[in-house]
Amino acid sequence: MQLDDTAVLISIDVQQGFDLRPSGPRNNPDMEAHALALLAAWRAARRSVVVVRHDSIQPGSPLTPGTPGNALKRGFEPQPGEPLITKHVNSAFIGTDLETRLRAAGVRQVVLFGIATDMCVSTTARMAANLGFDLVVVGDACHTWSQHTPDGALLDGETIHRVHLTTLNSEFGRVVRTAQVIQALSPSAQAGAGHTAP
């Protein structure tokens, strides 16, 4: 794969409260390891990162501001100069200045990862594509959980994860693996990197 020289990496809702989620088992236990490797390589290439955090307004949510669950997981906090976008709904573009920041910085491509594949990652990804951004989703740096279907059957998290990545790849952008992005960040592939964060 090739990365645009304006590409911005967006980390979505990698928060401690999701470890407290009263739901079925999650898929992709290696998600955090992949995401940390991705962040390290991206920052080493001096490319821009935006961190998104969900500040829930739902009563009793483990992501409520001021509670331990609202905090970002260790290693996923924004570094100096990296903006923190806080949101209250699934899409990081609703009720925030994310789009304004990206437009002002001349960003053409967004690279997304985070939690959960089928919820805030998918919603943000679809909106990004509809807004005209070139969309890349790092599939192995996302995860979700098993859930019950409307008729009461249990659908495993890996199936939900794969279905959402499949539709994103079919219609909205490209789904890639962490290793592909890191390879694209190699010194021979990163001419033009080093622009400032949006």
Q: Which of 183, 163, 39, 167 is nearest to 112 (CA)?
A: 39
Q: Has 73 been annotated as catalytic?
A: no
Q: Can you give the length of the chain in residues?
A: 198
Q: Check 4, 5, 55, 87 and give the catalytic one.
A: 87
C-alpha distance across the termini of the chain, in Å? 23
Q: Give CA angle at 12 (82, 1), nearest 5°.
A: 85
Q: Check 13, 73, 118, 140 and give the catalytic one.
A: 13
Q: Has 142 been annotated as catalytic?
A: no
Q: Check 4, 73, 97, 120 and give the catalytic one.
A: 120
Q: Has 13 been annotated as catalytic?
A: yes
- CB of 188 closer than 8 Å to CB of 98: no
Q: Which residues are catalytic?
A: 13, 87, 120
